[in-house]
Amino acid sequence: MTGRVIVITSGKGGVGKTTTSANIGTALAKAGYKVVLIDTDLGLRNLDLLLGLENRIVYTIVDVIEERCKLKQALVKDKKNPNLSLLAAAQTRDKTAVNAEQLKEICNTLKEKNDFVLVDCPAGIEQGFQNAVAGASEAIVVTTPEMSAIRDADRIIGLLATKEEITSTKLLLNRVRPNLIKSNEMMSVDDVVGILEIPLVGIIPEDTGIITSTNKGEPIVNDEDALAGKAYRNVAQRILGEEVPFLDLDEPKGIVAKIKNAFAKLKAKV
Amino acid sequence: MIMEKGFVENGFIIDLSTAQNTTQLVFELSSIMEHPDVKGKQICLKLGNLDLKQSQLLSIKALIESMNASIAFIDTESEQTEASAVSLGIIVSKVSENENAQIIQPQKFSDADEEKVIVKEEETKTVEVSADMDMPSGPVETAEGVEDIYDEMSTEELSEVIPSESFDRTDFGAFAANEGLLPNEETSKYILLDTGNVLPEGIEENSDSTGSMPTLYLNQTLRSGQTVSYEGNVLIVGDAHPGSEIVAGGDITVWGILGGIAHAGSNGNVSAKVRALKLNAIQLRIAGLYARRNDTLNVPYVQKSNEFTPEEALIENGKIVIYKKLRRD
């Protein structure tokens, strides 16, 4: 078996790389695939917190590289889903503790026994980024509909294009707020895709549930009702090659909102 | 002896239907069984809807029989418990409404510092009997789940050495553990990780006195990503935030909130201890034993608080045991 190694990157910090990694990983594992998540953000690790696995980490990626343990020992199994495991970053070291060759080797070893290896990339374009993309053959670029995030995403897409190993780069638009798009205060999905010119793999609506899910260490894909969770499940399906329509975020939810909307349309006609 | 509607003569009804889990149930049952009035009586157990496996029910039966009493019948809503009872030959019946027997009901679960048992007589007058037990402060929690029996009174007597040997309940804990009742992941604060041998090669377990080791004194906050590593004892006056790591050959003492990883006795010293004003460590490691904080433990996101409960972790009988106050050795 040769699994797919996908790097999740963005350039800019705080746009949701780690949240995306945790949720796509959980969704793929729930669909029955064997998934390993690698946190490459050495010194600023967060992925373990989002999965609620911090208390189980004994060995990290640096221990594997410095041969203090075997790779298998460092893989922490998820609490709920045995298909999902995490290779944590070292919290007490920095990015120079690992080099691109070593990470590539780890990815190559892991993809032999797993369907998916998802690499959570640190922010920036320095060593950490170079390490994270080294073993990957696909990339998902996460961005938000803001000028600064898009500028950084554009830079990352350019850098990814120079990497021969990366055969596919896709866009994930995070924290979309349909009501702001409607009132012309936020760039629309089409605007962003127009600027970045790469295929879209997902649109994730802004969801306050993300905050509680992060604090609880429980990915939002496990919440059947959350819109963001549903959007992430759709991303996982698209990664698996299925054609899933993008969520219609414009549709008002409640009946009151629907009636209001109908009136608004009537008014517009008159 | 047993009438059609579950009437019990010369017996007691012990109502344990409010127990949340088997550990609570066994804990409360054992304290009731110590009451002299119960000896030699027929006992009806009200078990509510708790699911008990055959092995668990068997150990409860053994516990009752060890007190010279016997089970008349059990009253349960759980199908699993009923099946277990049938396979063990224990009669399953219902306690009727107009009961003539005494009902013993634990006043409160999980709050063991109020060691009182209400003995209800003929459903009319209620007598409060203080469970007259010598309650020394034993281990409050272990990595394998002995319950909190923290006695509030004893905190004032900090000078007194806690006689952990004379603690009866630990014997019971061991008994329960052998019978498959423990470990209980719901109630223990730390759970041992199955790490195998984590001590580096060439290092053997020892119990050298940590008192003669040099001590590193730090007057600062330890932040995420910061590591303190020292061959002797480490004393930190300040908090050790989550994400930090303290590794010491000897003891670790944090005069503040310990939230990160603490590894005492890193050179295999099993007599090393970890103590803190608030012990919230995400992982506790002593010598080659690693334990993770329980997921169910609701540690507030913001750990800063003015409420401190000094705790000390050490190895006893191959387990990490946590005491809720400092012992003076």
CATH of the domain at B67: 3.30.70
Distance from the A47 Cα atom to the nearest Cα atom in chain B, whole angstroms: 13
What is the average pLDDT score of chain A?
A: 92
Asked if the Cβ–Cβ distance from B292 to A56 is below 8 Å, we say yes
Same domain, B174 and B294: yes
SS (H, E, C) chain B: CECCCCCECCEEEEECCCCCCHHHHHHHHHHHHCCHHHCCCEEEEEEECCCCCHHHHHHHHHHHHHCCCEEEEEEECCHHHHHHHHHHCCCECCCCCCCCCEEEEECCCCCCCCCEEEEEECCCEEEEEECCCCCCCCCCEECCCCCCCCCHHHHHCCCCCCCHHHCHHHHHHHHHHHCCCCCCCCCCCEEECCCCCCCCCCCCCECCCHHHCCEEEECCCECCCCEEEECCEEEEECCECCCCEEEECCCEEEEEEECCEEEECCCCECCCCEEEEEECCCEEEECCEEEEECCCCCCCCCCCCCCCCCEEEEEECCEEEEECCCCCC
- pLDDT bracket for residue B319 (50, 70, 90): confident
Of residues B92 and A154, the one with the higher pLDDT is A154
Same domain, B182 and B278: yes
Is the confidence at residue A232, as pLDDT, over 90?
yes
Residue B20 lies in a domain: yes
CB burial of B308-323 (b: ≥16 within 10 Å; e: otherwise) equals eebbbbbbeeebbbbb
Q: Which domain holds residue B286?
A: 141-323
Percent of chain A with pLDDT over 70: 92
Q: Looking at beta carbons, which residues of chain A come within 8 Å of B242?
A: 54
Residue B329 lies in a domain: no
Task: Write down the number of H helices and E strands in chain A.
Answer: 12, 8
Same domain, B207 and B243: yes
Question: What is the ipTM, given to two decimal places?
Answer: 0.80
- pLDDT bracket for residue A259 (50, 70, 90): low
Same domain, B104 and B24: yes
Is the confidence at residue B162, as pLDDT, over 90?
no
Is the confidence at residue B149, as pLDDT, over 60?
no
Same domain, B89 and B219: no
The domain made up of A4-269 has a fold known as: Rossmann fold (3.40.50)
Instruction: Decide: residue B200, CB within 10 A, 0-12 exposed, 13-18 middle, 19+ buried.
Output: exposed
Q: Looking at beta carbons, which residues of chain B come within 8 Å of A42?
A: none
Q: Which residues, including other chains, have CB under 8 Å from residue A233's CB and lie 6 or more apart? A: A27, A221
Residue B326: predicted pLDDT: 58
Least confident of A3-7, A109-113, B49-53, B289-293: B49-53
Domain boundary, last residue among B75, B98, B130 = B130
Least confident of A70-74, B238-242, B252-256, B321-325: B321-325
For A37-85, the pLDDT digits (tens) are 999 999 999 999 999 999 999 999 999 999 999 999 999 999 999 999 9
Same domain, B106 and B195: no
Asked if the Cβ–Cβ distance from B290 to A79 is below 8 Å, we say no
Of residues B215 and B306, the one with the higher pLDDT is B215
Same domain, B267 and B146: yes
Same domain, B218 and B119: no
Interface-testing mutation among A67, A69, A92, with chain B (most B C-beta atoms within 10 A):
A92
Domain boundary, last residue among B130, B149, B181 = B130
For B179-238, the pLDDT digits (tens) are 444 444 456 788 888 777 777 777 888 988 999 999 999 999 999 999 999 999 999 999
In this structure, what CATH number is given to the domain that contains residue B316?
A: 2.160.20.70
Residue A269: predicted pLDDT: 56
Residue B89: predicted pLDDT: 79
Same domain, B124 and B167: no
Q: What is the longest distance spanned by two Cα atoms in chain B?
A: 73
Same domain, B295 and B146: yes
Range B38-49 average pLDDT: 78
Q: Looking at beta carbons, which residues of chain B come within 8 Å of A44?
A: 225
Residue B135 lies in a domain: no
Same domain, B181 and B109: no
**Structural domain boundaries in chain A:** 4-269
Is the confidence at residue B169, as pLDDT, over 70?
no
Residue A267: predicted pLDDT: 62
Same domain, B196 and B112: no
What's the number of domains chain B is made of? 2
The answer for B89, left when phi > 0, alpha when psi is -120 to 50, beta otherwise, is left
